[in-house]
Structure 1
Amino acid sequence: MKHYFNPMSRAITTDWMLNELDAPHEQITIDFASNENNTAEFRKINPMGKLPALVDGDTVVTEVSAICAYLADKFPEKNLAPEVGSVERAAYYRYLFFACNTIEPAFALAACGLEHPDPVSAGWGDMPRVLATIEDMTPETDWALGEQFTAADVVFGGLLDFSITFKWLEPSPKVAAYVARIRQRPAYRATHSAFDAA
């Protein structure tokens, strides 16, 4: 597998996922200063010119949630996803997709001082609803799905961590405690030194 990466991009989350799995891969660093993400070669991999991207043989996967879900299923022995068809799989999907489909667009707009003119028509609604749902979905103890850490924590918890670091989110005590647990994981600590220095 080839993982296209820059430590100051969302690829830090997929790098963390690969480390949680101890998955063999080639790390290919894309230099933003040299505009390598916009070369024709890279745009063949991801027409968005964005990171992360994962190439596994003839399979190309982009988007943080998709890459983490793909990797969790590729290495089922690592137990980073509930069994396909299980009841827990529904909650797992919700965490994966709520992070990138709802939290990130809402926070990105807010960070620019903007809000959607018609929250009813926006998939993420409005900030009060996003914050209330984050609070509701954040576990009091352990991890998103209970005692077993999964890719849901990498994606959901990773985005909360990012949002706190870059002042997108003022965490409640419960959210702060969950992110603190995440930051103690060895794979997180091995992959986030540049990110935490931001």
Structure 2
Amino acid sequence: MTKPIDLYAMAYQDRSDRVRWLLEEMNVPYTNHFLKKKDGEMNTPEYRKLNPMGRVPTIVDGDIVLHESAAICLYLADRYSYGKLAPKMDDVKLRAEYTKWMVFSVGSLEAVIARMFTHVNTPEESAVTYKYVKEQSEFFKLVLNPVLEKQDYILESGFSAADIMLAAVIPGAHDYLVKGNPPLERYMERMKARPAAIKVKVFE
């Protein structure tokens, strides 16, 4: 790496939070570029060349341009913390678990949570949305609780990029998934105490 990674975002607590947290855990230099959507900074020709959808986060790492937070974290962990925050490919079982949780965090968990920001335009719509999130959270507990009852991190090998991805998403469903649920409460306390997460304001 010849220069710091460029990280494009809107704010600390958007989907760039997990990318920034991972970079801090790995001590990889980066530069924040905060874009103002209301000023059209996500819709300029220059930014659209980096991310045709005009969304965040996006990173530029040398000649690598990448968007989608999970893809970014998978790439960064493999490139800069392979065998530490990203299990090695030859550890087939552990790598499979790691990939599962990385995908679960955005493909299952965040996909449900996102509804609370888009399907709440009327009281009736809000009621349906919150009922749906509450119901889905019970399914999420079926896979998360057994793991976090027996170990501190989502992988038996210890802290990894999968924890960053998961813990950054979970707060969106805190009242349904974490509150009154000891395994998740303890897990989130551990994640919130990590110096790198505190430094980049993931949970503020």
Superposition TM-score, scaled by structure 1 size: 0.82
CA RMSD of aligned residues (A): 2.5
Per the alignment, residue 186 of structure 1 pairs with 195
- CA–CA separation in structure 1 for the residues paired with 2:45 and 2:76: 26
- Name which of 134, 145, 163 aligns with 2:144: 134
Q: Which structure has the bigger radius of gyration?
A: 2
Per the alignment, residue 152 of structure 1 pairs with 162
Structure 2 gaps of 5+ residues are 120-125
- CA–CA separation in structure 1 for the residues paired with 2:43 and 2:147: 37
- Tell me the SS of whatever aligns to 2:42: helix
Per the alignment, residue 122 of structure 1 pairs with none
- CA–CA separation in structure 2 for the residues paired with 1:99 and 1:20: 19
Aligned pairs for 1:32-47 (under 5 A) are 32-47=37-52
Matched residues, number = 185
Superposition TM-score, scaled by structure 2 size: 0.79
Indicate if the aligned counterparts of 2:60 and 2:66 stay in contact, CA closer than 8 A: yes
- CA–CA separation in structure 2 for the residues paired with 1:32 and 1:70: 26
Per the alignment, residue 56 of structure 1 pairs with 61
Per the alignment, residue 106 of structure 1 pairs with 112
Indicate if the aligned counterparts of 1:21 and 1:78 stay in contact, CA closer than 8 A: no
Question: What is the one-letter code of the residue matched to 1:160?
Answer: I
Q: Using a 3 Å threshold, how does the CA distance of structure 1 residues 126 and 161 change in structure 2: closer, same or farther?
A: closer
* 1:79 correspondence with 2:89: no
- Tell me the SS of whatever aligns to 1:82: coil
Structure number having the greater helix percentage? 2
Identity %: 29
What CA deviation, in whole Å up to 9, does each residue of 1:82-132 have, x standing for no partner?
A: 1113120000001100010001112223563346xxx9xxxxx95542342
- CA–CA separation in structure 1 for the residues paired with 2:191 and 2:72: 19
Structure 1 gaps of 5+ residues are 120-124
Aligned pairs for 1:116-127 (under 5 A) are 126-127=136-137
